[in-house]
């Protein structure tokens, strides 16, 4: 591992643990993504994580707070890290090619298809509370339907 990779690993560690500490499984390789997507049943909440400020101040906190509010949670919580685990992220994005690549972003996967997608544009232009409420509402509908 070169000095840059080592440096970035140290920088993004807390960004990764913010989600893994909330119960998310990190998918760091294309194989991890393919395995999850081919075997997961029920609803998957997929967070495409990022090092940007809107991921740190808006997306990750909104996701964690939304999950804490839900009575019925998605069966699967997974994340890929854009810019860090590039091949895994590209593989995940291949499952919902109908939406442009966006990070951070939040995808809800159900019945082998994309049920809902929140792109970066809807994250960076809103408050954390608004994103949390939006995600909570959508998840409540998708999980219980």
pLDDT, residue 85, reads: 93
pTM of the model: 0.94
Below-70 pLDDT ranges, the chain: 1
The two structure tokens encoding residue 33: 């993504």
Out of 19, 33, 46, 54, which one is annotated catalytic?
54
Contact 34, 40 (CB under 8 A): no
pLDDT, residue 60, reads: 95
pLDDT, residue 86, reads: 94
Contact 74, 45 (CB under 8 A): yes
* Domain hosting residue 139, numbered range: 3-144
pLDDT, residue 4, reads: 80
Instruction: Give catalytic status of residue 53 as yes or no.
Output: no
Identify the CATH number of the domain in which residue 32 sits. 3.40.30.10
The Cα–Cα gap between 119 and 32 comes to 23
Out of 52, 66, 88, 138, which one is annotated catalytic?
52
Please name which of 82, 42, 65, 50 lies closest in space to residue 133, comparing C-alpha atoms. 65
Instruction: Give catalytic status of residue 88 as yes or no.
Output: no
pLDDT, residue 137, reads: 95
Q: Give the count of domains, the chain.
A: 1
The two structure tokens encoding residue 78: 């997974």
């Amino acid at each position: 591992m070169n000095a840059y990779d080592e440096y970035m690993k140290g920088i993004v560690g807390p960004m990764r643990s913010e989600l893994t500490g909330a119960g998310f499984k990190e998918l760091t390789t294309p194989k991890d993504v393919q395995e999850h997507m081919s075997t997961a049943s029920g609803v998957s909440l997929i967070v495409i994580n990022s090092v940007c400020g809107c991921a740190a101040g808006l997306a990750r906190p909104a996701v964690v707070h939304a999950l804490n509010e839900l009575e019925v949670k998605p069966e699967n919580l997974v994340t890929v890290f854009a810019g860090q685990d590039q091949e895994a992220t590209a593989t995940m994005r291949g499952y919902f090619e109908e939406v442009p690549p966006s990070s951070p972003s939040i995808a809800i996967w159900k019945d082998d298809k994309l049920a809902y997608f929140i792109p970066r544009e809807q994250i960076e232009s809103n408050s954390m509370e608004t994103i949390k409420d939006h995600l909570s509402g959508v998840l409540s509908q998708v999980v219980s339907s």
